[in-house]
A and B are shown apart, each in its own frame.
Chain A
């Protein structure tokens, strides 16, 4: 972050400053750049091809399987992984646990960018993307549709997240009065953000309520909105642990030395929270399993796949979080966080892709172009995240 800049008085000052900040810094030849640049460029070429020749030219989607990897991973999974922002802002600004204040900015930024990129990835999956503004302008759209709620929530939540992050931008631009004003809006935007987030996290689950005949019974439940909401809480906590650990390693120079120790304490706290939420989620799943009398479904390939998800990637990491917290082992907690994230990815893909049309003779699998575009979305978000972190006071705040 450039801290020796005079306050900007004219648009010319701002323009000059912004152009300077856009210039790349640091070495170009890094492992991340070497991997991500070719993937992003290939992804752009595929997207141009997709918009000229249509979805069928680059995806394995069909009329029977209209949702694939782009919808299942980018949108449904990506939004769950962005749940950390509403959880942390609730903990810091509503129940006033100051211990986690130092990670709020990075978490909110991560959540905001995740919604921009993963929610934005919806546009590449829409057959007629030019119709995307229809829910916002009221043009021939079903007001009782779950998608109507999700569209509006995505937009409003991105605005709320941007406002939560805006004091950082004001601080970056040395606009002290603007920073104080934007900071005064924080509690309002946080409450709005939490409300919206809770509703659309569960709303994403509600999207699948009407797909009951298509989803394997082990993954479909009338309580799927609640399952999506509860799992988004621990997905967010696990994501903060993984993303924070990587950030503290990659951006080590930007962080004060004493912050590393306090971040360890934050990880322990997040691990404890994740253990409790995952434990509750596991019992939700067990209760629904018994309530729906699904015993006879467990003794086949789908049943074993279900057990792998629920026991291997929910119960086991939950116990690891608890054990890691009790025995003060960061490695166990970080391993549990990675497993929890894999469990969320598996769950969302099971619901939206793998166990969708499970009875069909021909199963969907993503094309290589779908995989490259998904990686492009992830790498693009990481590039933008890196730009923000290295320019703005995200990890090294004075406030």
Chain B
């Protein structure tokens, strides 16, 4: 039976992949946030 081998995420690309996943999740959220209908004017010119 193979023994368990711990891979340190800081020593591999793991953290960069995690950051990229976070980026895409948040980017999709940001685009959806900015795409939904805007609310009424607050302080723009009338």
Given known contacts A261-B45, A287-B16, A291-B16, A322 and B38 CB-to-CB distance under 8 angstroms = no
What sequence of 0s and 1s flags, for each residue 311-352 of chain A, a beta carbon within 8 Å of any chain B beta carbon?
000000000001001111111000000000000000000000
Residues of chain B from 1 to 46 with CB closer than 8 A to chain A in the complex: 10, 15-16, 19-20, 23, 26-27, 30-31, 33-34, 36, 38-46
- CB-based contact B43/A330 at 8 Å: yes
- CB-based contact B45/A264 at 8 Å: yes
- CB-based contact B34/A322 at 8 Å: yes
Interface assignment of A153: CB less than 8 Å from any CB of chain B: no
- CB-based contact A326/B30 at 8 Å: no
What sequence of 0s and 1s flags, for each residue 290-321 of chain A, a beta carbon within 8 Å of any chain B beta carbon?
11010000000000000000000000000000
- CB-based contact B15/A290 at 8 Å: yes
Identity of the chain A residue whose Cβ is nearest the Cβ of B37 in the assembled complex: A326
- CB-based contact A329/B42 at 8 Å: yes
Identity of the chain A residue whose Cβ is nearest the Cβ of B13 in the assembled complex: A291
- CB-based contact A283/B19 at 8 Å: yes
- CB-based contact A328/B44 at 8 Å: yes
Identity of the chain B residue whose Cβ is nearest the Cβ of A293 in the assembled complex: B10
Interface assignment of A128: CB less than 8 Å from any CB of chain B: no
Chain B residues, Cβ within 8 Å of A90: none
Interface assignment of A275: CB less than 8 Å from any CB of chain B: yes
Pick from B16, B31, B36: contact of A290, CB below 8 A: B16
Task: Count residues on chain A whose CB falls below 8 Å from chain B CBs.
Answer: 24
Chain A residues, Cβ within 8 Å of B33: 322, 326
Identity of the chain A residue whose Cβ is nearest the Cβ of B45 in the assembled complex: A260
Identity of the chain B residue whose Cβ is nearest the Cβ of A329 in the assembled complex: B42
- CB-based contact A279/B30 at 8 Å: yes
Chain B residues, Cβ within 8 Å of A326: 33-34, 36, 38-39
Interface assignment of A384: CB less than 8 Å from any CB of chain B: no
Q: How many A-B residue pairs have CB under 8 A?
A: 56
- CB-based contact B34/A328 at 8 Å: no
Identity of the chain A residue whose Cβ is nearest the Cβ of B40 in the assembled complex: A328
Chain B residues, Cβ within 8 Å of A279: 26-27, 30
- CB-based contact A290/B19 at 8 Å: yes
Residues of chain A from 252 to 304 with CB closer than 8 A to chain B in the complex: 260-261, 263-264, 268, 272, 275-276, 279-280, 283, 286-287, 290-291, 293
Tell me, rounded to whole Å, the shortest Cβ–Cβ distance linking B12 to chain A.
11
Chain A residues, Cβ within 8 Å of B10: 293
- CB-based contact A328/B16 at 8 Å: no
Task: Report how far A84 CA is from B46 CA in the complex, Å.
Answer: 27
Task: Report how far A329 CA is from B31 CA in the complex, Å.
Answer: 18
Task: Report how far A15 CA is from B40 CA in the complex, Å.
Answer: 52
Given known contacts A261-B45, A264-B44, A328 and B30 CB-to-CB distance under 8 angstroms = no
- CB-based contact A276/B31 at 8 Å: yes
Identity of the chain A residue whose Cβ is nearest the Cβ of B23 in the assembled complex: A283
Identity of the chain A residue whose Cβ is nearest the Cβ of B46 in the assembled complex: A261
Identity of the chain B residue whose Cβ is nearest the Cβ of A264 in the assembled complex: B44
Where the two chains meet, the residues of A that have a C-beta atom closer than 8 Å to any C-beta of B are 260-261, 263-264, 268, 272, 275-276, 279-280, 283, 286-287, 290-291, 293, 322, 325-331
23 A-B residue pairs with Cβ-Cβ distance under 8 Å, sorted by A, are A261-B44, A263-B45, A264-B44, A272-B34, A275-B30, A275-B34, A279-B27, A280-B27, A283-B23, A287-B20, A290-B15, A290-B19, A291-B16, A322-B33, A322-B34, A325-B34, A326-B33, A326-B34, A328-B38, A328-B40, A328-B41, A329-B42, A329-B43
Taking A283-B23, A325-B38 as known contacts, 19 extra A-B pairs with beta carbons closer than 8 A to each other, sorted by chain A number, are A268-B38, A275-B30, A275-B34, A279-B26, A279-B30, A283-B19, A286-B19, A287-B16, A290-B15, A290-B16, A290-B19, A293-B10, A322-B33, A326-B36, A327-B42, A328-B39, A328-B40, A328-B42, A330-B44
- Minimum-distance CB pairs A-B, first 8: A264-B44, A283-B23, A260-B45, A330-B44, A329-B42, A328-B41, A331-B43, A290-B15
